[in-house]
Amino acid sequence: MNEQVRPVMLEQVSQAAKQPKPPLLSRRYALEIRQQLAWHWQAVIIGLALLLGLGISAAILVAAGVPAGELLNEFVVLTVFDAQSLKAVLFQASPMILVGLAGCMAFRAKFWNLGLEGQMIWGAIGATAISLFEVGPPALRLPLMLAAAIGCGLAWALAPVVLKLRLKVNEIISTLMLNYLAINFLLHLLYGSWKDPRSSFPYSPQFQPFERLPELFDGISAAVPLAVVVALLALWFLGISRAGLYLRFVDANPRVAGAVGVPVQKMIIGTVLISGAMAGIAGFLVTAGQEGRLTQSFYQGYGFSGILIAFLARNNPVAALVVALLMAMLFVAGRSLQVFYQIPFSMVQLIQAILVICVASSDFFIRHRIRRVQGGES
Tell whether the model's pLDDT for residue 138 goes beyond 50: yes
Tell whether the model's pLDDT for residue 273 goes beyond 90: yes
57/63 Cα distance (integer angstroms): 10
How would residue 137 be classed by pLDDT, with cut points 50, 70 and 90?
Answer: very high
Tell whether the model's pLDDT for residue 215 goes beyond 70: yes
For the chain, how are helix, strand and coil distributed in percent, rounded to 5? 70, 5, 20
pLDDT of residue 269: 95
Tell whether the model's pLDDT for residue 18 goes beyond 60: no
Arithmetic mean of pLDDT, 138-155:
95
Arithmetic mean of pLDDT, 102-122:
94
pLDDT of residue 378: 46
CB 110 within 8 A of CB 272: no
Nearest residue to 227 (alpha-carbon basis) of 93, 47, 375, 54: 93
The mean pLDDT of the chain is 86
Arithmetic mean of pLDDT, 65-93:
81
Arithmetic mean of pLDDT, 93-119:
94
pLDDT of residue 239: 87
pLDDT of residue 6: 59
Arithmetic mean of pLDDT, 317-337:
86
**At residue 64, what are phi and psi to the nearest 5 degrees?**
-80, -5
Which of 44-53, 265-274, 363-372 is predicted most confidently? Answer: 265-274
Nearest residue to 299 (alpha-carbon basis) of 326, 316, 320, 279: 279
193/183 Cα distance (integer angstroms): 16
Tell whether the model's pLDDT for residue 27 goes beyond 70: no
Q: What angle do CA 113, 234, 88 make, to 5 degrees?
A: 85
290/223 Cα distance (integer angstroms): 9
Tell whether the model's pLDDT for residue 81 goes beyond 70: yes
Please give the helix or strand (H or E) that residue 186 lies within, else none: helix 171-190
* Percent share of the chain, pLDDT over 70: 91
Between 83-108 and 317-340, two packed helices, what is the crossing angle to 10 degrees? 140
Tell whether the model's pLDDT for residue 376 goes beyond 50: no
| Cβ-based burial of 35 (10 A; exposed 0-12, middle 13-18, buried ≥19) | exposed
The whole-model pTM stands at 0.83
How would residue 125 be classed by pLDDT, with cut points 50, 70 and 90?
Answer: very high
Regarding predicted confidence, which is higher, 181 or 13?
181
Strands (E), the chain: 28-33, 215-217, 220-221, 368-373
